[in-house]
Chains A and B, each alone.
Chain A
Amino acid sequence: MKGVSPISFMAEHPTHSVETPAQKIFDHTGESLSRCYQCGKCTAGCPMSEEMDITPSRMMRMLQYDDPAMEEEALRSYSVWLCLTCGTCLARCPQEIDIPGVMDFLRTESLRKGMMNPSAKNIVSFQKSFIDSLRLTGMLYEVGLVAGYKARTWKLFQDMSLVPWLFLKGKLNLLPHRVKDRKTVKKIFRETVK
């Protein structure tokens, strides 16, 4: 914990004009992080915690600080991208904190500020390719998605062995389906994705 400011933390009741991390999360998700009493049950049950750099309960603790450095560390973490939003943490949290909701918010913030963790390149690329596919057709077009993902990650040969098999089994459509009402899909993306 570098550069921890004196006891000006424990956000929720901001003393400065700048929004604290916890306040921002409260404004966007309605989740009050001061409810977290650090029992660690989320970390204990998280299927990803052993792969994470910052486990869920530690992430909650970091965000309780009124410290921009700590916030940035959270946004730059691998964990925000490793969260599968499986919801196990919320289902068992004694304080009913919507951690998947908080993680969603951190992901969108990390994207917005361009603070994505370099190790998460694959995951971010996959998500971007997925969204591109949606933006284009209104549907998930699996061939397009995988092609876009491979172009982004240069993982040209990964999974290539599966492709002919999938094709043979009739599981790949070579041409995308499209939503006819293109206007609405475009409008949705225009108004929600900044």
Chain B
Amino acid sequence: MSRIGIFICHCGENISGTVDCGRVAGECGNIPGVTHSVDYKYMCSDPGQTIIKEAIRENRLDGVVIGSCSPRMHEKTFRKACADAGLNPFLCEMANLREHCSWVHEKSDATTDKAISLIRILVEKVKRNQPLQPIRVPMTKRALVIGGGIAGIQASLDIANAGHPVILVEREPSIGGHMAQLSETFPTLDCSQCILTPRMVEVAQHPNITLYTYSELESLEGFVGNFKARIRKKARGIDESLCTGCGLCTTKCPTKKIPSEFNTGLGQRPGIFVPFPQAVPNIPVIDQENCRYHLKGKCGLCAKICPTGAIRFDQEDEIIEAEIGAVVVATGFDVLKTDFFPEYGYGRYPDVITGLQFERLASASGPTMGEIRRPSDGKIAESVVFVACAGSRDAAKGKPYCSKICCMYTAKHAMLYKHKVHHGQAHVFYMDIRAGGKMYDEFVRRAIEEDHVNYLRGRVSKIYEEDGQLVVKGADTLLDHRPVEIKADLVVLATAGVANNGAEELAQKLHVSYDAYNFFAEAHPKLMPVETNTAGIFLAGACQSPKDIPESVSQASGAAGKVSALFGQRKELERDPMVAVVNRTAPPLFSTCMGCFLCESACPYHAIEKEEIRGRNGDLIKTVAKVNEGLCQGCGTCVALCKSKSIDLMGYSNQQMYAEIKAL
């Protein structure tokens, strides 16, 4: 006869609000095999855990069922408590009385009855639980950081400085990300490049960091501590070992008028180019889509001029394979293309630009050398209208969420404009000013009070051109909801921050969850903000949601801390033993497995191997399936498919499942 203990948690009022916890504990005490049953306000608290531990010792319990929240939340807590009291942790099970019962039902007797049923079925399971031992697997202590913006840079440096090797993969020809494009940064107005480029150089020179730019993750397989990454290093057309970065090729290239990605289309670049002078690495890339040699088979001017003979037109993509222990995803964000707003005329009027384009205009290294000249005719803009929430907080055509950074960068833009064009007029249409952050609101007030930026509360309905100027039709909701028309030389739309293109595809490659807007999902919004639901994969920066620089850097350091903590463990990693096992029996059968290997074709993790059973003389008796414990994720697909019922899942055996169903 079993000796099982039941522990019912009130979860404050989360469970006891609709479930009569006292009655659950009382009635569950009568289930055959149960010798102890109690309820308590917070079972996960220290006193709560003490109750469990003492009960195990005093009643010599051989199984525990805890009726509380989701196992996602506290399975580790309770299993550890059991282990502390000398009970094999896998003899402890949790019934989810909160998400599965109290939160989804009204207060009633039926709700309490359901809670009792949930406990009863787990009692039947626990009676059949086997003591299990965690599986130990080796761990590769090397991190992969995807994305070389400020978040990826920070994460790489932190991990590398903790003494672990890092591979940093960046899709573009240079690291630096969006921060390299920014003019000055709020709320201190530091020059963005001045604070960023030293970090970029540090990455390039760090002995623990291997940098692959112009490269993308091709695939990632395996599991925490044992990932295998394949990285596609796209053909740069340059022998990197020979290139000195002299830049001669970029000045001689006859194809010069390609819109510069780095300058957001406001400037031009040649067919062989370095995105910006401070690029890391300072090695050009041949843009095959525009290169004359690649298009027409003739030219090759760069090859002729290169003093070291580094040009390689026939270079091919290279696949690099690496063993990885943990991954930090820091792929950043993009800005919403404003064709969502035909009423704002973006694309039809060259002088309607995005905030990111304004950064390039205001940047000292930008296409106008920092002068606020409008794109259409190069005239200094005498009047600028900034439109906040262009695409954010707009469920109809844009994104329903607040992009968080726009209020601050718009204030910064208006301020920079006033600093550059003293007599100019700056107007900001806004809905709310969200300036929560250290010195943030003070910064916005400064724009209004000291730089006399005209803030109007209202949204813009239409922008159109008349006599070489843009007419902005807005409203002032603080002035009796009056319609307002302002003539401007330049209109800057604070377009919503959106997930980077390719985010969805990358999330699927990594097996991490993502939200409706393709931002990567953290494991817990409050308590696990840098973890994903996949062990060993962490998040940093704006790929999780729009973020400013300080936040991205903090999160990157957080993710790096998690990676370092993981690598700081012993050599081996412990895993839950909930894996599939192919049965073994006495000779002459050895196993009921018939060797059909249907399981092998079905296993999503490639965890099924072949094992040859041989007699004493070495003759092959039969070939049977064998599960690689390191790779198996315990999904159970093979169990369902096995024709001879030779595979079972540890901790979730068919026998246990049937017992649960019968107990209902």
Contacts and interface: CB of A to CB of B under 8 A. Distances in A.
A43 B457 CA distance: 12
B477 A43 contact: yes
B393 A94 contact: yes
A96 interface: yes
A55 B483 contact: yes
A88 B482 CA distance: 17
A39 B483 contact: no
B527 interface: no
B398 A94 contact: yes
B477 A50 contact: no
Given A41-B460, A44-B460, A46-B483, A57 B477 contact: yes
Given A38-B477, A40-B476, A58-B480, A95 B395 contact: yes
A32 interface: no
B458 interface: yes
Contact of A94 (B397, B458, B481, B484): B397
B31 interface: no
A154 interface: no
A96 B397 CA distance: 9
A50 B485 CA distance: 11
Range of interface residues on A (Cβ < 8 Å): 20 to 34
B631 interface: no
A44 B343 contact: no
Contact of A44 (B389, B393, B395, B474): B474
A40 B457 CA distance: 8
Contacts, number: 78
Given A38-B477, A92-B461, A43 B483 contact: yes
A94 B393 CA distance: 7
A49 interface: yes
Given A94-B393, A95-B396, A96-B396, A40 B458 contact: yes
A43 B479 CA distance: 12
Contacts of B218: none
B364 interface: no
A88 B343 CA distance: 11
Given A55-B475, A92-B343, A94-B395, A39 B480 contact: no
B292 interface: no
Contacts of B483: 43-44, 46, 49-50, 55
A37 interface: yes
Contacts of A93: 396
A71 B482 CA distance: 20
Interface of A: 37-46, 49-50, 54-58, 61, 88, 92-96
Interface of B: 343, 389, 393-398, 431, 457-462, 473-477, 480-484
| Closest 6 pairs (CB-CB, A-B) | A45-B461, A40-B475, A44-B461, A40-B458, A94-B394, A58-B481
10 contacts: A37-B393, A40-B481, A43-B483, A44-B474, A55-B480, A55-B482, A55-B483, A92-B462, A94-B393, A96-B395
